[in-house]
Amino acid sequence: MSSVIEWAVGMNEYEHRAMAAYYKTAQPGDPSPDPEHANTHELGGHIYVTLGNRESGLLACYRVRNDLKLKKLKRVPRELKY
């Protein structure tokens, strides 16, 4: 399902929500994620969203729970690291 927002900036709903969650909990001086490095992955029947940037690499990983809420992961699945 495509939306105007997805078309406009190339990000899906989960990626937008992950960016909002990251900025909500970011501390001053934390690196900013790059929208070009926001990706959605399906792995083992679960949906994951990764945020990163060119300088720092992977900044955060979120799993989409069954109730469609995002959960920030402390340990990133090995297949998603870059």
As averages over each run of 10 residues, the pLDDT of the chain (82 residues) reads 50 92 92 91 95 92 96 94 74
Q: Which of 15, 29, 28 is nearest to 60 (CA)?
A: 15
Q: What is the pLDDT of residue 9?
A: 64
Terminal Cα-to-Cα distance of the chain (whole angstroms)? 28
Q: What is the pLDDT of residue 64?
A: 97
- d(CA 18, CA 38) in angstroms, rounded, equals 9
6 phi, psi to nearest 5 deg = -60, -45
What's the pTM value of the predicted model, to 2 decimals? Answer: 0.84
Q: What is the pLDDT of residue 8?
A: 42
Sheet holding 46-53, edge to edge: 39-43, 46-53, 57-64, 70-72
Length of the chain, please? Answer: 82
